[in-house]
Amino acid sequence: MAEWTLFEVFVRSKHGLNHKHVGSVHAADATMALENARELYTRRNEGVSIWVVPAAQITATAGDEKDAFFDPAEDKVYRHASFYKLPPEVDQM
Amino acid sequence: MYAQQVDTGSKSLKTLDEMGPEERHFQEKVNAETKIEPKNWMPDGYRKTLIRQISQHAHSEIVGMLPEGNWLTRAPSLKRKLQLMAKIQDEAGHGLYLYSAMETLGADRDEEIEKLHRGEVKFSSIFTYPTLSWADMGAIGWLVDGAAIVNQVPLQRCSYGPYARAMIRVCKEESFHQRQGYEVLLTMMREGTDEQKEMVQDAINRFWWPSLMMFGPSDDNSPNSAQSMAWKIKRHSNDELRQRFLDQTVPQLEFLGCTAPDPDLKWNEDTGHYDFGAIDWQEFFDVLKGHSPTGIERIQQRKSAIDEGRWVRDAAVAYAEKQKASAA
């Protein structure tokens, strides 16, 4: 298995939905990775489309989830609709 | 169950005050039910325990295909053959989800499989028993997969994210296994000849105790449970899960019109649970050491599957390289 590439698998479960990471497979090449992913992750109609990406090609944030990396989003409450209070007369918006 | 007697390497539990800042932060996350992910800091013991448990679990799924493969060519109808093949393919899938989860901890799949072949790591005791008749396929689906479900449902909430997510997929598929097994037995009991009905009872007699042993040693002989529970890898004690399995299984057994090979099995009004007889733990420890002829045969089969399949893997790599070269 060591000589095979590790691929991450993303499946679109229904038309109109986004692809979602479901797991990984080892394969000799991308075509085989798609076939392996079909056998492993869509045996019961779980998908209409599959992406496979070599795991080594993915760049990810590191460390704990409460990382400084995400700090800029912490103090910007005005980006949320609930920050803006509307008079009851206007009701829903 | 699929992972039994997983060594945590720890003798006593540390309190939060006894931990360094990193371990303390880790334990507080675990206590708060925040999932631990591959890139997060984790204690060495936690990582090693998970690798041991997940690899043993994965090996069990893969070895678990062998007793069923034994009956593929002799399934009584095409329908049963297709069902059995689908179940076996699921077990392969479960093994792969689990090996992937194990790899996120930095373990190498080939190396862990080598350890299995060298006898350094175990697979579940349940797969060291031979499958002697077609009714065994029913008994395994119903009892063995049934016990597996009881064990795996709480593992969906395991503190380690990749393991928990693999378990969610596994549990979704596992209930088909149990139902098909029970249906195999029910059909034999309802429509079968006397001889076929005897086969059902015989299969239950042989798989009853081994299924109860799947949950691992009793709580007073389970030295690793406390640490595994503190890390929230494990959520319930072995005895608690064993009792849960028994309580749900006995009514199904009665509906089949069969009996358990346990004269002490009876409903206890006071506790609201079934009482049952003493488990022969010597047998459990013996088979777990791989001392049974079937256990030895399973490992040989696994090894030869890898060795004899080498040319297929080599050919796949050669083909991929050729495709790459011709595309360039």
pLDDT, position B207: 97
Nearest CB among A6, A25, A28 relative to B316 is that of A28
Residues of A with Cβ-Cβ distance to B166 under 8 angstroms: 23
Question: Chain A window 28-57: which residues touch B at a Cβ cutoff of 8 Å?
Answer: 28-29, 31-32, 39-40, 43-44
C-alpha dihedral, A76 to A79 to A85 to A86, nearest 10°: 160
Please choose, from the candidates B121, B135, B152, the residue with its C-alpha nearest in 3D space to the C-alpha of residue B68.
B135
Average pLDDT over every residue of B302-308: 93
For residue range B67-77, list pLDDT tens digits in order.
999 899 999 99
Nearest CB among B100, B313, B323 relative to A23 is that of B100
Closest chain B residue to A40, measured at CA: B93
Query: With a cut of 0.95, is the ipTM above it?
Result: no
Q: Is A40–B96 a contact, with Cβ atoms under 8 angstroms apart?
A: yes
Q: Is A28–B317 a contact, with Cβ atoms under 8 angstroms apart?
A: yes
Chain B residues with CB within 8 Å of chain A CB: 37, 39-41, 86, 89-90, 93, 96-97, 100, 103, 108-110, 165-166, 169, 173, 313, 316-317, 319-320, 323-324
DSSP A29-52: SHHHHHHHHHHHH-TTS--SEEEE
Establish, for the pair of chains A and B, how many residue pairs have beta carbons separated by less than 8 Å: 52
Tokens at residue B246, please? 């028994």
- DSSP reduced 3-state for A21: strand
pLDDT, position A1: 60
Helix (H) or strand (E) holding B77: none
Question: Pick the residue with more confidence: B295 or B255?
Answer: B255
Q: Is B97–A62 a contact, with Cβ atoms under 8 angstroms apart?
A: no
Task: Answer yes or no: is pLDDT of B108 > 90.
Answer: yes
pLDDT, position B1: 47
pTM: 0.90
What mean pLDDT is reported for chain B?
93
Q: Is B89–A39 a contact, with Cβ atoms under 8 angstroms apart?
A: yes
Mean pLDDT by 10 residues, chain A (93 residues): 86 93 93 95 93 94 71 85 88 77
Nearest CB among A23, A26, A63 relative to B39 is that of A63
Could you tell me the CA-to-CA distances from B19 to B26, B39, B143, B160, B203 in Å, in that order? 10, 20, 42, 20, 50
Give the sign of the dihedral formed by CA B289, CA B294, CA B296, CA B299: negative
DSSP B248-300: HHHHHHHHHT---S-TT-EEETTTTEEE-----HHHHHHHHTT-SHHHHHHHH
Task: Answer yes or no: is pLDDT of B206 > 70.
Answer: yes
For residue range B132-191, list pLDDT tens digits in order.
999 999 999 999 999 999 999 999 999 999 999 999 999 988 889 999 999 999 999 999
Residues of B with Cβ-Cβ distance to A39 under 8 angstroms: 89, 93
pLDDT, position B216: 92
pLDDT, position A63: 64
Please choose, from the candidates B2, B92, B89, B6, the residue with its C-alpha nearest in 3D space to the C-alpha of residue B47.
B6
Residue B226 binned pLDDT confidence (cut-offs 50, 70, 90): confident
